[in-house]
């Protein structure tokens, strides 16, 4: 499937592949049609994390991509070698080795020290501490860093290209892109249908290291926070027998990681939860997501909602129809019973 190479200028024209596990079928819609698949009392849960500029250039031979902010004030980062985002990550070559205590200068007043190097990751995962703290750190980081991006994109990304309309705290290292096409018009349309909007914050991590062995370790532990209000809303939705639609794989992982006895527990934790075909979902009834490649952890997560056979057929159809993948690509809704009435109405129209 081809990748979308630019942010969309008209998000409402994005295509929506609707997959219905109950009917074992799929159909084509647009993202503007999303509200018609939700009804009164259904909950739509969004990840409100804003996306950090997380790519830092130390010198021509070394780029660091931030992966996680740890509780002790240090940061976990991935090192990449010569080249930039125009070069595929797997073709960047080995970065120069870093050593404990080494000082790094990223320009614009941002400096850091290497605290440790993980030998089991071929020295590409390092832990650093920035010289600055508090507001001085955030100001220097936003001056020095750029958004993480990959070689299939046609131009360098601006920071606003990777933010969702309702982005809040800067926790994400790559955009929680499932919500990217959700304009306020679409969100108001969901509420007009009687659906209830809720939010959590999940620090979405990087999607690729350029090394297949390291990619198998992803996702690393990522922090999330679920408020009492959101936990209560989701639990009340479940008690009514209504649907809980997770917008994105990050929301799915946070809600399922926070599940205890079929109820969401509020709080702030870290999760490295991997979901797949053998997973029994406690919270999420459906998923709105992008189009993912078979063999990735994201595609495996989809198998918690629908069979591999149905996913393979529907994604083959999407490819044949020219759907686009990756963060600025088209969308997929997986929701049992979603096509019960809509196909009949569409045919009648």
Question: Which residues are CB-contacts of 309 (< 8 A; sequence separation ≥ 6)?
Answer: none
**59-76 per-residue burial string, b: 16 or more CB within 10 A, e: under 16:** eeebbbbbbbbeeeebbb
Q: Is residue 344 pLDDT above 60, yes or no? A: no
Judge residue 320's burial from the number of C-beta atoms within 10 Å of its C-beta, 0-12 exposed, 13-18 middle, 19 or more buried. exposed
Q: What is the pLDDT of residue 140?
A: 97
Cβ atoms of 129 and 74 within 8 Å: the answer is: yes
Where do we find the tokens 């499937």? 1
Is the backbone peptide bond immediately before 283 cis, with ω within 30 degrees of 0?
no
Judge residue 253's burial from the number of C-beta atoms within 10 Å of its C-beta, 0-12 exposed, 13-18 middle, 19 or more buried. buried
Tell me how many degrees the CA angle 55-59-63 measures, rounded to the nearest 5: 30
Using one digit for the tens of pLDDT, what is the confidence trace for 163-212?
Answer: 999 999 999 999 999 999 999 999 999 999 999 999 999 999 998 898 88
Rounded distance between C-alpha atoms, residue 310 and residue 160, angstroms: 36
Percent with pLDDT over 70 in the chain: 97
Using one digit for the tens of pLDDT, what is the confidence trace for 99-130?
Answer: 999 999 999 999 999 999 987 666 899 999 99
Of residues 344 and 314, more confidence is placed in 314
Q: Is residue 347 pLDDT above 60, yes or no? A: no
Of residues 74 and 292, more confidence is placed in 74
Rounded distance between C-alpha atoms, residue 127 and residue 115, angstroms: 5
Using one digit for the tens of pLDDT, what is the confidence trace for 228-262?
Answer: 999 999 999 999 999 999 999 999 999 999 999 99
Q: What is the pLDDT of residue 197?
A: 98
- The candidate with the shortest Cα–Cα distance to 131, out of 99, 159, 108, is 108
Three-state DSSP class for residue 253: helix
Of residues 323 and 10, more confidence is placed in 323
Q: What is the pLDDT of residue 179?
A: 97
User: Containing H/E element for 255?
Assistant: helix 249-257
Q: What is the pLDDT of residue 77?
A: 96
- The candidate with the shortest Cα–Cα distance to 87, out of 3, 149, 169, is 149
How, if at all, do strands 170-172 and 50-51 pair? parallel
If you average pLDDT over residues 124-142, what whole number do you get? 96
Q: How far is CA 52 from CA 32, 89, 209, 291, in A?
A: 28, 19, 18, 23
Cβ atoms of 50 and 35 within 8 Å: the answer is: no
Judge residue 237's burial from the number of C-beta atoms within 10 Å of its C-beta, 0-12 exposed, 13-18 middle, 19 or more buried. buried
Q: How does the average pLDDT of the chain come out, rounded? A: 93
At 135, phi and psi to the nearest 5?
Answer: -65, -30
How, if at all, do strands 331-335 and 15-20 pair? parallel
If you average pLDDT over residues 34-53, what whole number do you get? 97
Q: Is residue 162 pLDDT above 70, yes or no? A: yes
Q: Is residue 133 pLDDT above 90, yes or no? A: yes
If you average pLDDT over residues 50-69, what whole number do you get? 95
At 84, phi and psi to the nearest 5?
Answer: -140, -165
- What does the DSSP assignment read for 285-328? SEEEEE---TTSHHHHHHTTTS-HHHHHHHHHHHHHTT--BSTT
How, if at all, do strands 55-59 and 244-247 pair? unpaired
């Amino acid at each position: 499937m081809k990748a979308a190479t630019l942010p969309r200028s008209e998000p409402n024209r994005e295509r929506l592949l609707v997959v219905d596990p109950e009917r074992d079928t799929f159909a084509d819609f647009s993202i503007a049609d999303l509200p018609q698949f939700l009804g009164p009392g259904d909950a739509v849960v969004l990840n409100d994390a804003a996306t950090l500029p997380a790519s830092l250039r130390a010198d021509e031979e070394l780029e660091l991509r931030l992966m996680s902010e740890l509780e002790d004030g240090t940061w976990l980062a991935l090192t990449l070698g010569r080249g930039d985002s125009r070069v595929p990550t797997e073709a960047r070559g080995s970065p120069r080795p870093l050593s404990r205590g080494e000082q790094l200068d990223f320009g614009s007043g941002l400096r850091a020290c290497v605290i440790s190097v993980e030998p089991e990751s071929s020295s590409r995962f390092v832990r650093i501490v920035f010289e600055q703290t508090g507001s001085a750190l955030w100001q220097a980081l936003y001056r020095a860093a750029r958004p993480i991006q990959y070689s299939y994109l046609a131009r360098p990304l601006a920071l606003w290209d990777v933010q969702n309309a309702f982005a809040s705290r800067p926790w994400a290292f790559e955009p929680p892109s499932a919500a990217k096409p959700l304009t306020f018009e679409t969100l108001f349309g969901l509420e007009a249908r009687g659906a209830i909007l809720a939010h959590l914050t999940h620090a979405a991590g990087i999607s690729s290291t350029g090394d297949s062995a390291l990619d198998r370790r992803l996702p690393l532990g990522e922090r999330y926070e679920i408020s009492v209000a959101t936990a209560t809303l989701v639990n009340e939705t479940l008690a009514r027998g209504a649907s809980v639609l997770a917008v994105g794989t990050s929301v799915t992982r946070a809600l399922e990681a926070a599940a205890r006895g079929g109820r969401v527990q509020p709080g702030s934790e870290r999760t490295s939860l991997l979901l797949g075909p053998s997973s029994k979902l406690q919270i999420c009834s459906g998923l709105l997501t992008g189009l993912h490649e078979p063999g990735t952890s994201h595609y495996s997560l989809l198998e918690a909602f629908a069979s591999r056979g149905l996913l393979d057929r529907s994604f083959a159809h999407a490819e044949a129809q020219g759907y686009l993948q990756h963060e600025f690509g088209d969308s997929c809704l997986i929701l049992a019973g979603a096509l019960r009435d809509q196909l009949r109405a569409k045919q009648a129209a």
